Amino acid sequence: MPVHHESSRPPAAASRLLPADRNEGFSVAPLTDNCRRVYEQGRHLVIGISHGNSYFSVSLLTRMLRWSRSKFDRIDVVVPDDAFRENLSVLGYSPEYAERKSRQESNAIRNRVVRAAAAADVPVSAEMRVHLLSGLLDNPVYRALRRDAEEALHADVELLESCLHMSRRALWSSLRGKTPTEEQVRSGARYPLAELPFFLGSADIFQVPSSLCFYHKPIPLADALFRKRTSLAPSMRQGYAIIQPS
């Protein structure tokens, strides 16, 4: 569920795309055979929407929600308000400004999702919910997975480098192309750290049989996790895919 700004080349061994869905025109590329199995089960989808990411427009979200509802039993949308607030602090903004800005932008994203859901005739309900990350911080499964991820960051060089890469890209975007300092990059790694529990076990976080996270282009962190190149191992009930308009 990557909820960030990212730019990278596709992994060399990326799975071939599944046939595009004809009604709404989305292509799905699971990272592994197990990810494909999770996708085909169609039990649950996590949609992560980051701040400042113009990709998830109302029109695209409308199409995606309509398509997702036809494929999955349940959808949970996550807005990383807490992680965004922390990144604003990393960039030197006051706690008061960071709190106010995060609240304003998070509310705007949530309203965008609600408008798209109404247009897609997918009402916000038990089957389609919208969460702020701050509302999930007390979830015991999320907390346990986040602790595991934080411990792994101290011991796993490849995992740390993948998170630093994501932090650098997100801060670079927030700084409008200016280069963040290495201290800022390391502090900003808490943003991808906040996402890692969903990569590892969103099925357990949301108490569903299996769960798929996705982004619309490849990212090194997901590739490293699901191709077992780090010390963290996603649950077998967890999948990840690249989903994009075809």
Cα separation, 122 vs 15, in Å, equals 30
CB 65 within 8 A of CB 115: no
CB 202 within 8 A of CB 1: yes
Q: How many residues does the chain have?
A: 246
For the four alpha carbons of 46, 52, 53 and 58, in that order, the dihedral sign comes to: positive
For the question of residue 50 being annotated catalytic, the response is yes
Q: How far apart are the first and last CA of the chain?
A: 19
Catalytic residue among 7, 8, 15, 50: 50
8 by DSSP, 3-state: which? coil
Catalytic residue set: 50
